[in-house]
Structure 1
């Protein structure tokens, strides 16, 4: 369901970043509207996870501008950054739950750190969020006692406990069986529809992307390859996009002489 809201909540302009001498992102642009689910896809090494970490302010870009909720994340004060981060939720690929805390304690942690709510209120809110992700009654378990899908849902409950305006996912379906992955997709759609959250989802799972996305941005070699609706992406005749959708290898066979020359050249670098 594509949003009709024109308010831009995430704006990335001409983003460039390097790892050492290697350029990872090369002039990336991204605009996400309020209430939109934007999926970012691309092959391994395309820059999709690096883009996510930059949007979250975890990395400093070489060039470019990033605005969240109208604020330039690299031009606001430290206190403004802290305030902004309370409007952001992140669900990491591994879940990133604290192993020494129960599920309930993990979910309640942001409330304890960033609010002055009393313990009874914190307990009720955290249990409500666990109910939202279908983990009601599991608050006393340790992360080690959860299945992979339950860890993902517990992490999602923690990411929404502060009712963020922006929600980010890194490979939410990775490592899950198709049924559990579909349940995670349903949760993402439900959160968008019931809580009005705007979301950015990094994934390589085609079925998931096609199910949840309002728009998809495909990256290739650190550049915007194409942005469009699910149908536009499916109908694209761009070779890189077709390779991604049809799971075709993008690596060309290297002539043996050229391969030996590359290995022995003085300025050997990754390609």
Structure 2
């Protein structure tokens, strides 16, 4: 009985996920288990597989092997129609915002409601404005994306991602390119959404301050593998060299022996290392 309850409490489960870009292995046996109401931050250096893992969880890529379950459903086994229904329980806030430049802020936020519901226009307008109020953009619905600052674009994109009241919310670098004050405001919004709407969240970020502020748990990826998962305190206390390099922003490049370097450049089966 206890195991069944634990499974019901798990909203995202990734088992031994492996994927390749061509012959290059990007993810190498990644496991992930995220509970209801949890904010899980995924961190790692450039090329560690953070964004690739996110796109796989969203069902945008087919893995080489491994399984992914969202809200109890295997996303590679369910039908196309069931996947469409499942995606209505998922919100995504992209790094660039990904707002449609030809549509106003209000139209961008209302778009999922128009696409996936039969609500009348007045109800759609009210709901979209409510979501803009949630992200502190009340009254900005008539503006075009080109008229917004970077932080406002992020918040408008967030309003669109929550307009369907999703159970799962995903962020790709939510604080990237923002000044510290605006970045802190985005962090506060993420925490508020978790507390008021009960959403479970996955946040891919390289911003340490944001990660430490919002995370219930942090997963650190390195070379496509799950290097460490723990609470903020556990991550900060880790003595793993790779984790310490990440937290202390230390370069990981080893010095190359000139002879070995020349040999690598001239060999027939030259590959990226």
- Same-fold call, TM > 0.5? yes
Match of 1:93 in 2: 95
1:162 counterpart SS class: coil
2:228 counterpart SS class: strand
1:108 and 1:119 mapped to 2: Cα distance?
9
The answer to whether the 8 Å contact 2:56/2:62 transfers is yes
Per the TM alignment, residue 5 of structure 1 is displaced from its structure 2 partner at its CA by: 10
The answer to whether the 8 Å contact 1:5/1:33 transfers is no
1:225 and 1:164 mapped to 2: Cα distance?
29
Q: Which runs of 5+ in 2 are unaligned?
A: 1-5
1:176 counterpart SS class: coil
1:13 counterpart SS class: strand
Pairing of 1:225-236 with structure 2 (within 5 A)? 225-236=227-238
Per the TM alignment, residue 31 of structure 1 is displaced from its structure 2 partner at its CA by: 0.3
Match of 2:242 in 1: 240
2:84 and 2:227 mapped to 1: Cα distance?
33
Match of 2:56 in 1: 54
1:44 and 1:178 mapped to 2: Cα distance?
21
Pairing of 1:109-258 with structure 2 (within 5 A)? 109-258=111-260
Runs (4+) off by over 6 Å = none
Match of 1:15 in 2: 17
The answer to whether the 8 Å contact 2:132/2:156 transfers is yes
1:203 and 1:210 mapped to 2: Cα distance?
11
2:31 counterpart SS class: strand
The answer to whether the 8 Å contact 1:5/1:34 transfers is no
The answer to whether the 8 Å contact 1:47/1:222 transfers is yes
Pairing of 1:25-44 with structure 2 (within 5 A)? 25-44=27-46
1:63 and 1:32 mapped to 2: Cα distance?
20
1:30 counterpart SS class: strand
Per the TM alignment, residue 106 of structure 1 is displaced from its structure 2 partner at its CA by: 0.1
2:68 and 2:173 mapped to 1: Cα distance?
22
1:146 and 1:172 mapped to 2: Cα distance?
16
2:68 and 2:135 mapped to 1: Cα distance?
31
Superposition TM-score, scaled by structure 1 size: 0.98
1:132 and 1:252 mapped to 2: Cα distance?
47
The answer to whether the 8 Å contact 1:14/1:27 transfers is yes
1:128 counterpart SS class: helix
User: Deviation string for 1:194-240 (max 9, x for gaps)?
Assistant: 00000000000000000000000000000000000000000000000
1:235 and 1:218 mapped to 2: Cα distance?
14
The answer to whether the 8 Å contact 2:109/2:157 transfers is yes
Distance change >3 Å, CA 5–CA 27, structure 1 → 2: closer
1:54 and 1:263 mapped to 2: Cα distance?
33
Superposition TM-score, scaled by structure 2 size: 0.97
Per the TM alignment, residue 270 of structure 1 is displaced from its structure 2 partner at its CA by: 0.5
Per the TM alignment, residue 6 of structure 1 is displaced from its structure 2 partner at its CA by: 7.2
The answer to whether the 8 Å contact 2:8/2:72 transfers is no
Per the TM alignment, residue 108 of structure 1 is displaced from its structure 2 partner at its CA by: 0.0
1:261 and 1:39 mapped to 2: Cα distance?
40
How many residues align? The count is: 268
1:19 and 1:251 mapped to 2: Cα distance?
23
1:15 counterpart SS class: strand
